Chains A and B, each alone.
Chain A
Amino acid sequence: MAENLETIISVIAETEKAFFYRLSNAATRDDLEEIRIEYLSRKGKVQSLFSLIGKVDGADRPKIGAELNRVKKAVQDAIDEKQKSFQRTGKAIEFFDPTLPGRTVSVGSLHPLMQVMDEVKQIFVGMGFRIEEGDEIETDYHNFEALNIPKHHPSRDMQDTFYLSDEYVLRTHTSPVQIHTMEDQKPPIRMIAPGRCFRKDTPDATHSPTFHQVEGLCVDRGVSFADLKGVVLAFAQKLFGKDVKVRFRPSFFPFTEPSAEYDFSCIFCKGQGCRVCKDTGWLEISGAGMVDPAVFGFVDYNADVYSGYAFGMGIERIAMLKYQVNDIRIFYENDLRFLKQF
């Protein structure tokens, strides 16, 4: 005559389960209110379960009572919680799809060549160099003669020049900035000149009539070739990592003596030899040297007191290595699909 304990427990459990199912489908406040009345009102489903207490043996009654109290609290808590979530959003919860695309914010970017330029500038600024600028249209004097490249000298053949007149050229390097700086300032000088240069090179995979250079100059008492090697080594390692080695090879530039071409150990094969370095283990970077005393003569520095070094580098060359771009012209096409990668 007394109902089976297990049966009653399972009725309670089913009621609870049914409640949570209903609750999970409640999409509006009205839905929720309806559920609350259905379960928690005086004649609600939870309340009516309490009448079952009388149907079990006296000994089991506390057990059923405790279980019913637990369920009642759980239902109340769940409804409260749901109620709060409605309050937060202020409206009825519909299906919310967080996977829809966000509202587009236009994203800009800096040109890869300029990013490399910025990095190079930062490295040298960190080593105490000041950045100097100059015009792209230069006098023949500043671009050539003051750099010890006289008119009618074979070394003019080293660079194919765009002429505007007998007097004006598009600068073939940023070295004229060094001349201007030395004309305006007295030693010590420690500067770099980043900028755009021009040479009459027909565009191909490795040549562009417009290109970018960073050139550096340091003039002081007792500046040596060993200092030059040091600064280039420090730069190489800051740019490409601690294990990069630097090699200097003798060369010739009219404005430096001794002059050098400098190479970095290949950053791809670590100097073992690969396709990029043509199996030499070295990547040709650019030129450097000690400032030729003749140049000091043009800017009225005393070559017996001061010495200096100068170095240059092509930004395109470094960017091509860094980003593994194999055609210089790509930088100047400005294809959005290219720009977006940087």
Chain B
Amino acid sequence: MKVTLNWLKEFVDFSLSATQVADALTMAGLEVEEVYTLERNFSRVVVGKIVKSQKHPDADHLSLCQVDVGGNILPIVCGAPNAYEGLKAPLALDGSVLLNDLKVETRKIRGFESQGMLCSEAELGLSERSEQLMELAADAEVGKELGQYLGEPDSVFDINVTPNRPDCLSVIGIAREIAAMTGSSLKKPELNIAAIPDAIEKYMTVDIQAEERCFRYSGRYLRDITIKPAPFWMALRLHAVGIRSINNVVDVTNYVMMEVGQPLHAFDYRLLEGKKVIVRTAEAGERFTTLDGQEHELDQDSLLICDGVKPVALAGVMGGLNSEVQPDTNTIFLESAYFEPTNIRRTAKRLDLSTESSRRFERGIDPNGTIYAMNRAASLIVDLAGGHVVGDAIDNYPQKVTPVEIDLSVHQSNVWLGVSLKKEQIAEILSSIELSVEQKNGDTLRAIVPTFRPDLTRPIDLVEEIARLYGYDNVEPNVAPRINQLQEANPRVLFRDSVRQTVSGMGFRETCNLSLIHKKFGHEFLPQKAGFVELLNPLSEDLSVFRPNMIISLLTSVAYNRNRQMHDMRLFEIGNVAWKEDGQSVKTEKTQIAGILAGHRQGNAWYGKAKEFDFYDIKGVVEGLLAKIGIEKFEQESAHDVFWDAESSKVIVDGKSCGAFGKITDDVLTLFKIKTNDLFAFYFDFDKLFENRRKEKIYNPVPRFPSVPFDLALLIDVNVSAGSLEKEIWKSGGENLVDVHLFDYYKGEQVEAGKKSVAFSLTFSSKERTLSDDEIENVIDQILAHLSGQFGAQLRDR
């Protein structure tokens, strides 16, 4: 919402500078985003008077003028249609510079010398009107610098009006705030309409058929008016607040809307049929063309203003092309109505047609302000377009909206704010914004809220007004601690943070990626039969679905860095992923942790050649992470999905899959345009790790008796896995077996074809005694017998 300083000064007296006003408004909740002085984009422009004007002999559209600039008469060639004798207009002298660095020089135009240029408002940057010469007042002093003639340039405030303050979408609303802040009062001019007495019913009747959507419909009939450009002062102000000047009548409706906040509409009366206005909802599929030329298909929710035959306006949003004011319009019907806010908003949203009018109606204008606004407009139209108001105002107001009364406890207000204001202070504050305050008994105040403040309905709403106008700065911060019950720490958050510390301690860098991705990256990562969680209104295809797996994010980061010549990295991230289960509309959202190894474990160094990551690097990370959180053992199973079948593994804890790790397939890498196939990743369902974490740490006494190591080298078929061997060793190792560690793994010339050698270091220990050599021998025999039976394992050396 833009307002100008001079416009505000018409409604309130104050001596603050523009900057001071901006600061004060901001601290009262009307955030001034920008305050600036209207620029003067011209120099060496003076008031000129056309003393003689005749047609150019060879060019119909050009006039040869003699222009008085105070002492001198200059010959000027001019193309404007209104370059008539006697007109005072701005003249840019030889050597002047106008908007967009346009330089004016003496030159010949179609054979005649022109010693300057008569200017339109647009050429001077004063408004966007370019068709005509700017018309200066008849008493303007000829030869005076235009800048001096115009006076001090006005200042503009660009205010971010919050949705709860529809009253401040108007000059008067903001002036009222300034009045409250400065302790002065609002000046609202009295309006006297001199109407020609006549029965208005002869010309127009209004029938509201949708009372729940249109609370009030007021109107006036004016005739004998003349459509012409609005005066400069009005065009200048509209331009300053960002509204295009059209003609005197349309400009008045916009000007009054900006001034008092009531949207108005002027119909060309000649185009309304049947001398009536009907307010009704649209029929489903009904078509209507608004005055911007757009045709809309409506539904039964939309509200239409119709004449006796056809719709003529989309209520509260925009008038119709079929009834707008024309250059030859001489009779108008002026509408000033109150439409139900949410209905206007639904229509504007659905049609994607947000206008200055709809913005005000959907926030809630003053239902009791239609008459004032309409009369203000009518009197301005008579001033600027001539003609007469005929008959009484039409005012169809079936259900009167009355002011809200709110009882406020002074004590409660003080408790909420943490201040100790007196009843009188509160009463004074509320009165300053035009609430009527009655002091009731004891602690209570009753405030009667004018209908231009629909946001004030409850005591707390008044408290906000009190705080705002008392000044947030004046509320002393209370830094004394408020001791509540002791809050137990959230274990999931603690766990999450400790996992992040653990993984970063393993040399991984934490990334932070967007959660939204392009579909093409996600397909491979969706669980079987699952679908994407898809946005209805994405910014772009690239950010249109929720990521179904955190590895996607890490691959995005790897690709980004690979494109910038960074090859080796270890990255991880914890974040949320989501998908839709087969045939279900409800989403599944999970937290995942994923890590990725890319490139080399170590670059070329003086102590060794560069070494690429392999499967056992990612497995080591997984084992380390799980051990750290107390998951010592897990089962493995081939994982497929985004990993190579062979070099992959699910992580199964207590029979349930928690995640997987492995080597990323070439298909997936190709998607991300990653050219090397040296990427290994893991991902876990974070909450499964959380459930399976070691929750309590309880001391387990360290053995007091010496432990006995024993190395066991086995010869075995190549395709017996080390994991299954280890499992069987545990099974047959008895209660004193405390550790099994695989320390050698060999395939090759030293062993016979089809076999391999696997060596384990076993540790035995008892809590009660020192184990004897015989006991150990017996257990080893037992293990060997078992392994021999299970896998045909042979002892290689003992």
* A residues apposed to B, CB below 8 Å: 100-101, 103-111, 113-114, 118, 121, 125, 127-133, 135-137, 152-155, 157-158, 162-165, 168, 170, 188, 190-191, 196, 198, 200, 202, 208-210, 218, 220, 222-227, 229-234, 246-252, 254, 257-261, 290, 292-293, 307, 331-337, 339-340
B728 at the interface (CB under 8 A from A): no
Inter-chain CA distance A170–B489, complex, in Å, is 27
- For A249, what are the chain B residues with a Cβ–Cβ distance below 8 Å? 26-27, 29, 31, 472
CA distance A274 to B511 in the complex (A): 32
Q: In whole Å, how far is B536's beta carbon from the nearest beta carbon of chain A? A: 4
Given the known interface contacts A110-B500, A114-B512, A339-B511, the answer about A261 and B415 at a Cβ–Cβ threshold of 8 Å is: no
Assembled-state Cα–Cα distance A104/B341 (Å): 67
- Chain A nearest Cβ from B341, distance in angstroms: 8
Would B512 and A332 count as touching, CB distance under 8 A?
Answer: yes
In angstroms, Cα B200 to Cα A274, docked, is 63
CB-CB under 8 A for A127 and B481, given A133-B490, A136-B515, A168-B587: yes
> Which chain B residues border A336 with CB–CB below 8 Å?
509, 561, 566, 569
Q: B699 near A: Cβ within 8 Å?
A: no
Q: How far is the CA of A293 from the CA of B345 in the complex (A)?
A: 25
B458 touches A293 (CB 8 A): yes
Is B535 on the interface with A (CB-CB < 8 A)?
yes
Q: A128-B481, A246-B477 are in contact. Are A196 and B515 (CB under 8 A)?
A: yes
**At the interface, yes or no: B718 with Cβ under 8 Å from chain A?**
no
Asked if A104 and B605 make an inter-chain contact with CB atoms under 8 angstroms apart, the answer reads: yes
Chain A residues near B543: list those with CB within 8 A: 209
Contact B484 A252 (CB under 8 A): no
Contact call A137/B460, Cβ cutoff below 8 A: no
Number of interface residues of B (CB under 8 A): 97
Q: B415, B560, B569: which contacts A307 (Cβ < 8 A)?
A: B415
Whether A135 contacts B589 in the complex (CB less than 8 A), given A111-B511, A246-B477, A336-B509, comes out as yes
B500 & A114 in contact (Cβ 8 Å cutoff) = yes
Contact of A108 (CB < 8 Å), options: B345, B484, B505: B505
Interface positions, chain B 595-614, Cβ under 8 Å from A, are 602-603, 605-607
Q: In the complex, what distance in Å separates the CA atom of A114 from the CA atom of B508?
A: 14
CB neighbours (8 Å) of A100 from chain B are 606
Contact A108 B605 (CB under 8 A): no
Smallest Cβ-Cβ distance to A190: which chain B residue: B484
Q: Is B697 interfacial (CB-CB < 8 Å)? A: no
Residues B490 and A130 in contact, CB atoms below 8 Å apart: yes
| Contact between B503 and A259, CB atoms less than 8 A apart | no
Which residues of A lie under 8 Å from residue B533 when comparing CB positions? 137, 164
Contact present for B487 and A251 (CB under 8 Å):
no
Q: 7 A-B contacts, Cβ less than 8 Å apart?
A: A104-B602, A111-B512, A128-B482, A130-B487, A162-B535, A224-B478, A252-B162
Contact yes or no, B468 A258, CB < 8 A? yes
- In the complex, whether B198 has a CB less than 8 A from a CB of chain A is no
Known: A154-B362, A198-B515. A109 touches B482 (CB 8 A): no
Residues 465 to 519 of chain B near chain A (Cβ within 8 Å): 467-468, 472-473, 475-490, 492-493, 497, 500-501, 503-516
Whether the pair A125, B418 counts as a contact (CB closer than 8 A) is no
Contacts of A220 in B (CB 8 A): 482, 484
- B541 to chain A minimum Cβ distance, whole angstroms, is 13
A241 to chain B, nearest CB (A): 16
Q: Does B651 contact A (CB under 8 A)?
A: no
B730 to chain A, nearest CB (A): 32
A246 to B493, CA, bound (A): 29
Q: Is the Cβ of A137 less than 8 Å from the Cβ of B490?
A: no
18 further A-B pairs in the complex, CB-CB below 8 A; given A157-B163, A218-B482, A333-B560: A101-B605, A104-B603, A108-B507, A111-B512, A113-B512, A114-B510, A152-B349, A162-B537, A165-B536, A168-B587, A200-B539, A222-B415, A249-B472, A252-B29, A254-B164, A258-B464, A336-B509, A339-B510
Contact A154 B363 (CB under 8 A): yes
Which of the candidate stretches B128-136, B571-579, B629-637 sits at the interface with the other chain? Answer: B571-579
Q: Which 10 A-B residue pairings sit nearest by Cβ, starting from the closest?
A: A226-B418, A106-B507, A250-B29, A224-B418, A252-B162, A108-B504, A229-B477, A130-B487, A258-B464, A248-B472
List A contacts of B26 (CB < 8 A). 249
Once A100-B606, A164-B587, A257-B463 are accepted as A-B contacts, the answer to whether A153 and B512 lie under 8 Å apart by CB is no
Least CB distance, B578 to chain A, in whole angstroms = 6
Is the CB of B269 closer than 8 A to any CB of chain A? Answer: no
Give Cα distance in the complex from A153 to B501, angstroms: 44
B163 and A152 contact, CB distance less than 8 A: no
Assess whether A163 is in contact with B29, with CB atoms less than 8 Å apart.
Answer: no
A292 touches B478 (CB 8 A): no
CB distance from B668 to the nearest CB of A (A): 19
CB distance from B584 to the nearest CB of A (A): 12
CB-contact partner of A334 in B467, B480, B571, under 8 A:
B571
Q: How far is the CA of A233 from the CA of B479 in the complex (A)?
A: 8
Shortest B348–chain A CB gap in Å is 10
| Of the residues A132, A163, A332, contact of B490 by C-beta under 8 Å | A132
Q: Which residues of B contact A232 (CB under 8 A)?
A: 477
A158: nearest chain-B partner, CB-CB: B163
Asked if B487 and A129 make an inter-chain contact with CB atoms under 8 angstroms apart, the answer reads yes
Asked whether B205 is an interface residue with its Cβ less than 8 Å from the other chain, the reply is: no
Judge whether B546 is part of the interface by a CB distance below 8 angstroms. Answer: yes
CB distance from B280 to the nearest CB of A (A): 21
Does B81 make an interface contact (CB < 8 A)?
no
Given A131-B490, A335-B564, A257 and B464 touching (CB < 8 A)?
yes
Is B510 within 8 A of A110, CB to CB? yes
Residues of B within 8 A of A225 (CB): 416-419, 467, 475
Q: Complex formed: what's the CA distance from A109 to B570 in Å?
A: 10
A293–B509 alpha-carbon span in the complex (Å):
44
A116 to B685, CA, bound (A): 25
Does B534 sit within 8 A of A, measured CB to CB?
yes
Residue interface mask B416-455, A partner, CB < 8 A = 1: 1111000000000000000000000000000000000000
A247/B473 in contact, CB under 8 A: yes
Q: Are A251 and B162 in contact (CB under 8 A)?
A: yes
Q: Does B28 sit at the interface, judged by CB under 8 A?
A: yes
- When distances are taken between beta carbons in the complex, the residues of chain B under 8 Å from A254 are 164
Digit string of B536-574 for contact with A (CB within 8 Å is 1, else 0)? 111100010010000000001100110010100111110
Contacts of A132 in B (CB 8 A): 490
Is the CB of B461 closer than 8 A to any CB of chain A? yes
Shortest CB-to-CB span from B360 to chain A, Å, is 10
Residues of A within 8 A of B497 (CB): 118
In the assembled complex, the Cα of A80 lies from the Cα of B460 at a distance in Å of: 91
Question: B209: CB under 8 A from chain A?
Answer: no
Give the distance to chain A from B629, nearest Cβ to Cβ, in Å: 17
Residue B719 is within 8 A (CB to CB) of chain A in the complex: no
- Give the shortest distance, in Å, between B262 (CB) and chain A (any CB): 17
Residue of B162, B482, B572 near A227 (CB, 8 A) is B482
Known A-B contacts A164-B533, A209-B539, A251-B31; the reply to A230 vs B566 at CB < 8 A is no
B-side contacts of A113, CB under 8 Å: 512
- Cα A250 to Cα B433 in complex, Å, equals 16
A226, B28: Cβ atoms closer than 8 Å? no
Bound Cα distance A221, B363 (Å): 34
Give, as a whole number of angstroms, the nearest-CB distance from B411 to chain A. Answer: 11
The CA-CA distance from A229 to B416 in the complex, in Å, is 12
B165 within 8 A of A: yes
**B585 within 8 Å of A (CB atoms):** yes
Tell me if A226 and B477 are in contact (CB < 8 A): yes
- Given A200-B539, A226-B419, check contact A130 B602 (CB 8 Å): no
Say yes or no for B103: interface residue by CB 8 A criterion: no
The reply to whether B511 and A107 contact each other, CB–CB distance below 8 Å, is no
A209 to B537, alpha carbons, bound, how many Å?
A: 12
CA–CA, A137 to B576, complex, Å?
A: 10
Residue B761 at the chain A interface, CB threshold 8 Å: no
Partner of A226, one of B417, B483, B513, B534: B417
Docked pose: A157 CA to B354 CA in angstroms: 12
Other-chain residue from A135, A223, A261 in contact with B576 (beta carbon distance below 8 A):
A135
Contacts of A152 in B (CB 8 A): 342, 345-346, 349
Give min CB distance, B461 to chain A, whole Å: 7
Cross-chain contact A224 with B511 (CB below 8 angstroms): no
